[in-house]
Amino acid sequence: MQLTFLGTSSGVPTRSRNVSAIALRLPQRAELWLFDCGEGTQHQFLRSDLRVSQMRRIFVTHMHGDHTFGLMGLLASCGLAGNPERIDIYGPDALKDYLRACGLHSQTHFSYPLKLHSVKPGLLHEDADFKVSCGPLKHRVPAFGYRVEEKDKPGRFDLAQAQALGIPPGPVYGDLKASKTVTLDDGRIIRGSQLCGPTRAGRKVVYCTDTVFCEEAVELAQGADVLIHEATFAHQDAELAFQRLHSTSTMAAQVALAAGVKQLIMTHFSPRYAPGNSLTLDNLLAEARAIFPNTILAHDFMTYDVPQGA
């Protein structure tokens, strides 16, 4: 699992930061899942090593333009790129009307299946490898945070021990790797669990933006390996944060601390903290680390490999 930040500014783009979009790359499946799609996201794809043709799922947190204005253009480009797979899109109820109106008035037609899902708090998607759920956030319009959970994996298979036991290679190895119990041709019963190490915990990634501090974000982020949380404002601008229902650096850190996450990545920064101003993003980072030391700042095109659990 690898995260690529395609846009880390709030509200409007700057010369160095585009508006919100984060890609989750799942190399074992050759898939990309996108979270939010601000204006210009398809151009950010062109400047990265990500492949639009691998897009399979898009998750939209809320309907503000800095999170949605790039969506129609990106979907049209996916069709022109010859994307043969279905794309599933998840978001607030209004997303369906928005995309339908864009398609109607621009005469855009997709050459691939497109499935829209109106989200409600709870489980949204589950397959053999992953679960995706969402929870409500606290913003000026209906907004949702998303949680991606990789399912636990069997421990590493001890090939040398299997060979020492005289187990012939073939499909039986797959069953043993999956910790199944098998009966060999000679009558021996072998439990796969005896040949596998401890179960490896699945990874958990949580994305929370836009929101002021809320207990719902803490609940959604419980025990996450990575929490991506907006930090639009510095602590001294907390009054602005409450007025606009955005988070400060310290609010993001408090969510991370209360949820017991392993890594906090802050994003969605106001342009007011650009280099040369009285307060910069270094100040926001210092504020957050005073509460939650394991904090880093996202920047456009930053990649982060989510560590595999033990």
Catalogue the active-site residues. Answer: 66
Q: Can you tell me the distance from the alpha carbon of 270 to that of 144, in angstroms, rounded to the nearest whole number?
A: 20
CA 40 – CA 7 distance, rounded (Å): 9
Q: Name the residue type at position 248.
A: T
DSSP string for 17-79:
--BSEEEEEEGGGTEEEEE---TTHHHHHHTSS--GGGEEEEE-----HHHHTTHHHHHHHHH
Report whether 219 contacts 135 (CB < 8 A). yes
For residue 21, which of 98, 80, 73, 79 has the smallest C-alpha distance? 73
In Å, the largest CA–CA distance within the chain is 77
Evaluated on CA atoms 255, 256, 257, 259, the torsion sign reads positive
Collapsed DSSP state (helix, strand, coil) of residue 155: coil
